[in-house]
Every structure is written in C-alpha cells, then in structure tokens.
Amino acid sequence: MAEGGWTLGIESTAHTLSFGLVDGNGLPYPSISDTVRPDKGGIHPREAADHHKEKAPELFARILSDNDLHPSEISSIAFSQGPGLGPCLRIGASIARGLSKKLNAPLIGVNHCVAHIEIGRQQCGCDDPVLLYVSGGNTQVIARLEGRYRVLGETLDIGIGNMLDKFARAHGIPFPGGPVIEKLALEWYSQNSEHSMEGLELPYAVRGMDLAFSGVLTAALKLVENGKPLGAVCWSLQEHVFSACVEVAERALSHTGKNELLLGGGVACNNRLRSMCQIMSNERDSQSFAPPRMYCIDNGTMIARLGWLEQGAGRNTPFAMSAIDQYLRTDQTPITWS
C-alpha cells in the first residue's frame, strides 16, 4: 500500500491530459483534466502531445490546490504506460519521471485499459464482472480468468468512439461527437411516434465474439447522403452498434458463467447503451453496473487507483523499465489483487 501517502495518477494516452489522486487507502478523488479539441479534423498525435505539455504545470498546480496538498504528501507517481498515441504517452511518462525524481516518490507505469476496469470495480462495488470497454480507440469485451483480464472479443478495425466521432465530424460536429449523436438520436426518437428501422438498416457488426465498425460508418454516411434525416441515422447507428456490443457481452456472460456486467470507457457515458445493458442483464438474472461518468472518460484518478493496487502487490517501475508501450495489451498485465 502507499503507506498513508497519496498516489498521483497521470493520464495522457490520447486527447486528454488528466491528473488524479487516491489516498493511502486507495480512495479516489476527482481528476483535473483538459481535453484537446481540434477546430477541424481528428486528433493529431503531435498536436495533442503539445497540448499536454503546455497544460501540465497548470493542471498539476490545480490538483494540489484543490485538495490542499503539498507536493511532499505525494508518495508515489503512477502514469499510463500504454496503450495509446506515442507522442502523448511520452509526455505523460516524462512528467511522471520528473515528478518521481523531484519528489523522491516511486514510479509505477500502468496499463490504461486495466485502469478503466479497476476504477469501475471500485466505484460500482462489483466483484468479478465481464467488462464492456467502449472508448475512443478501444472496444473490447473482457473477463478475468487465471490472473489476467482476457480479451474475449474486440473490434477488428476502429474503436466505437472513433467511429461515432468520425460520423459526427462528417456533419460538422466537433470532437467528441458521441454525446451530440446521443442527443440527436434522442430528439428524433422523442419527436417521432413510429420507431421503424425501415430504410435505416445498417450492417450488423458482429463476427463471432468480435466487432467491426468501419463498414457501419460508411453505410451510415451514405444514408445521410441519400437524404435520410441526420437524427434518424444517429438513432439507427446507436441501435445497431450498441446492440452488437451488448450481444457480444451477453455471449461472454453466458460462456464464462459470470453474472455481473461492468461498463467502462467514454462511450459508457451513453444513456441508451447503459439502458440496453440493464435490459439484457435483467433478462438473464445478472446485474449491470456503470461507473459515474467522470470515471468512464479518460481520467487520472483511475491511473492513480491502479498504481495504488500495483504498489500493494509489491510492484513499481524502475526508470530503465519506464519506456511507453503504444501497443500494450489488456492481457499483458498480471492481476494479483482480489
């Protein structure tokens, strides 16, 4: 354990730089974050890294002042070691090494995907869930088996969040597009009494336990080009891709015999997805959990929480082993805590 001191977590895998804290008992405190929002186009890794570098001093000062902390009260520094965008990860790792050295606090490099799972378990109080991890760059269905979080199914092309963001961007909606698609879909749904999918059908993206989203994206863009209302297509898009995710999650529950489903990642902020998971779980006498939204999106607190768990398991990261790993997989990290 972190010996009564605080663990600082630094998240920098993609669009967001975030600092978060857990106390000596591993209890989370809200993050201080800033997200790059390009005027046009997608997230450029170099520009996002420059954003993170520029914002870091201000965010670090704020997490200390908001929690009335002196830097000397920080007893360990956790950071996202991967997976993510190389230039962004490198900034987070550099900040972490600098602080570790300055504060004489051990460094702990952690797996970003595992951090999403662990903050969800802590927040929701579930024990051994199947995780539906739906974010910008990742879409995975995961379960813990023999000391690892195993990926049972995942996207074969782009992440579900990236797909939603790309669809939004094609219609002039800036990043992050997911929340706006949710709003447009709900408006259309409430304003139309007939909820027919006729003429709004899209490819259904399940391949065994895996998923795919680029074909659905192309087909959804075509529907709008061919004159279907944007709100209607947003509704159809959500129904199709969320159903696909929930179908794989259900099969994972069935195969593993587990009875808890936990949502994680930015797309887990979506109310429609949350309610689909509830319905499916209720139908099979299982429970569905979704963490508070501030812990679904990328946040430093989840990195701090996993760092605290790793330290409790006796692990830290010597500087020589602290290089980032863009392609770190969920199942590469041993899970030794209960």
Chain residues that interact with ligand AMP, rule: CB under 6 A: 135-136, 161, 164-165, 176-179, 182, 265-267, 269-270, 297-298
Alpha-carbon distances of 279 from 141, 160, 272, 285, 289, rounded to whole Å = 18, 21, 11, 10, 12
Closer CB to Mg ion, residue 16 or residue 236?
16
Q: Residue with structure tokens 């600098």?
A: 98
- Count of residues touching Mg ion (by CB under 5 A): 2
Q: In sequence order, which residues have a C-beta less than 8 Å from that of residue 94 and are 6 or more positions away? A: none
We find the least distance from the C-beta atom of residue 143 to ligand AMP, in angstroms, to be 19
Is residue 50 helix, strand or coil? helix
Contacts of Mg ion in 31-60 (CB under 5 A): none
Closer CB to ligand AMP, residue 45 or residue 136?
136
Q: Which does 250 bind (CB under 5 to 8 A by kind): ligand AMP, Mg ion, none?
A: none
Closer CB to ligand AMP, residue 107 or residue 113?
113
Q: Which does 161 bind (CB under 5 to 8 A by kind): Mg ion, ligand AMP, none?
A: ligand AMP
298 binds Mg ion (CB under 5 A): yes
Query: What is the distance between the alpha carbons of residues 232 and 250, in angstroms, rounded to a whole number?
Result: 27
Q: What share of the chain is helix, strand, coil (3-state, %, to 5)?
A: 45, 20, 35
Alpha-carbon distances of 197 from 40, 205, 232, rounded to whole Å = 32, 16, 9
We find the least distance from the C-beta atom of residue 175 to ligand AMP, in angstroms, to be 7
Task: Write phi, then psi, for 79 (nearest 5 degrees).
Answer: -145, 155
Closer CB to Mg ion, residue 135 or residue 281?
135
Task: Write phi, then psi, for 289 (nearest 5 degrees).
Answer: -125, 145
Closest to 41 (Cα-Cα) out of 76, 15, 71, 72: 15
Q: Residue with structure tokens 């994972």?
A: 252
Q: Which does 297 bind (CB under 5 to 8 A by kind): ligand AMP, Mg ion, none?
A: ligand AMP
Closer CB to ligand AMP, residue 95 or residue 163?
163
Q: Which stretch binds Mg ion (CB under 5 A): 28-36, 127-135, 176-184, 188-196?
A: 127-135
Closer CB to Mg ion, residue 298 or residue 310?
298
Closer CB to ligand AMP, residue 64 or residue 248?
248
Q: In sequence order, which residues have a C-beta less than 8 Å from that of residue 252 and are 6 or more positions away? A: 130, 141, 143, 152, 153, 209, 258
Among 18, 94, 122, 135, binds Mg ion (CB under 5 A): 135
We find the least distance from the C-beta atom of residue 59 to ligand AMP, in angstroms, to be 16
User: DSSP for 68-87?
Assistant: T--GGGEEEEEEEEESS-HH
We find the least distance from the C-beta atom of residue 105 to ligand AMP, in angstroms, to be 26
Q: Which stretch binds Mg ion (CB under 5 A): 102-110, 128-136, 159-167, 187-195?
A: 128-136
Nearest position to Mg ion, beta carbon:
135
Name the residues that contact Mg ion, by CB under 5 A. Answer: 135, 298
